[in-house]
Chain A
Amino acid sequence: MIPVGFEYSRPSTVEEAVAALAADPDAKVLAGGQSLLPVLRLRLAAPTTLVDLRDVESLHGVRVAGDDLVIGAMTTHDEILHDARVAEHAPLIAAATATVGDRQVRHLGTFGGSLSHADPAGDLPAVACALDATMVAVGPNGRREIPAADFFVDYLTTALAPDEILVEVRVPDTAGWGHRYEKFNRMAQAWSIVGVAALVRRVDGGVTDTRVALTNMGRRPVRATAVERALTGTAGDAGAVTAAAGHADEGAEPPSDVNGAADYRAHLSRVLTRRALTVAVGA
């Protein structure tokens, strides 16, 4: 199907983009369009204006600022996969991005669009939560920072106001941490039935930090804090990993849908967490 008609604007600065959003309460940002256009074609949404961010140069690209990696919202999945700084400072992002969609989707889809879309089955929201990333938004009242833990509010809903734009994401350096994104789906190109983002830091063998976040185990990404507590302080051996992974679904409220029932997802989360941690602790 063809989308319902709308106005199109293509500003070249963040300020112009915010003004365009403020001018029409039913306006929407257009990033890569890889989630928005399918939604518009199915006529599940009918914004009256699309504000295309492609020409806003400041939103593109990756840089290092102090101890943080800063990823512009309009950086595409494909650019992330080819970026040496991402590979060095936040390899978990690259690993998860490689599992997103297919090459065509990765050429257009953006990091910021995936986070703003906040699809519970999307792979990158859980990754942002595991990394304790900070979202930087700009609206009519200026700039503000939103921790990942507060950014994902509900199904397809973020803390962004309708006239706010996600401009960049600050990611703390996790060079040297073990990492793994473990995704379960039945077909190539498909979304996660369950996904697990894991990060482990070890000092002299012992596990000093554990971060685990789950994809599609609730209406928003879930931090598996019971797993984190159980593994941290151990020697990171197979027994400790298995015991910790057994807590993966604690407090989660997984959905039941055509891809699987809630109890099946709970089971998957424990199995995938064990696999993810086994890689992340390193041999």
Chain B
Amino acid sequence: MTRISVTVDGVESTDEVEPRTLLVQYLREARGRTGTPVGCDTSNCGACTVLVDGRAVKSCALLAVQADGREVTTVQGLSNGALHPVQRAFHERHALQCGYCTPGMIMAAVDLLRETPDPTEQEVREGLEGNLCRCTGYQNIVAAVRDAAAELRGAS
């Protein structure tokens, strides 16, 4: 077992983990952040995307021990109470059907907008290339991200 300290959605905790524990497992099983799902075995789908020190990563492609000393933000920690602009835009644009890809899509979109505050449609599509959706056909997801971008620019 290895001792790690990880801040998850603003709360720091020290835990003993087996080195082979994936970050996503640690988040779900040790920290109760079940808002982050697992969608594949190959690190392709992006459903498990979270921010580590503010950068989007696939939490199934990272060991919990690699997050030692880092700050993790899951979809559950994006905002306090009210919805984050990206979450609200996904809701208003109906950018989901089954919702399985949604937490990862939202986290990847937040990361994209950090780097590119005013993305074109093409930039949104390329920026979310690491996230697969089997339901929506992406159209409303792209629209939601561009709505959220406009709102975030207005707010800052």
Contact = CB atoms under 8 A, between A and B. Distances in A.
A and B associate in one complex: yes
Interface of A: 1-8, 10, 30, 33-34, 37-38, 40-42, 50, 52, 54, 78, 101-105, 107-108, 188-189
Interface in B48-86: 49, 52, 55-58, 60-63, 65-66
19 contacts: A2-B21, A6-B20, A8-B2, A37-B22, A37-B63, A50-B63, A52-B66, A78-B55, A102-B46, A103-B56, A103-B108, A103-B127, A104-B57, A104-B130, A105-B43, A108-B57, A188-B125, A189-B44, A189-B130
Contacts of A41: 22, 41-43, 60
Dominant secondary structure of chain B at its interface with chain A: mixed
A5 B43 contact: no
Chain B interface residue bracket vs A? 20 to 34
Contacts of B130: 101-105, 189
B87 interface: no
B132 to A, nearest CB: 9
Interface of B: 2, 18-22, 25, 41-44, 46, 49, 52, 55-58, 60-63, 65-66, 108, 111-112, 125-127, 129-131
B46 A104 contact: yes
A24 to B, nearest CB: 13
B48 to A, nearest CB: 9
Given A38-B43, A78-B55, A103-B130, A6 B66 contact: no
Given A41-B41, A102-B46, A8 B56 contact: no
A2 B63 CA distance: 10
A38 B43 CA distance: 6
A5 B61 contact: no
Given A42-B42, A52-B65, A104 B56 contact: yes
A102 B55 CA distance: 12
Nearest to B51: A107
A104 B108 contact: yes
Contacts of A103: 56, 108, 111-112, 127, 129-130
Contact of A33 (B41, B42, B63): B63
| The 9 residue pairs across chains A and B that have the minimum distance between CB atoms | A102-B130, A8-B19, A188-B129, A107-B55, A3-B20, A189-B129, A102-B129, A104-B58, A104-B130
A256 to B, nearest CB: 22
Given A33-B63, A34-B61, A2 B55 contact: no
Contacts of B57: 104, 107-108
Contacts of A5: 18-20
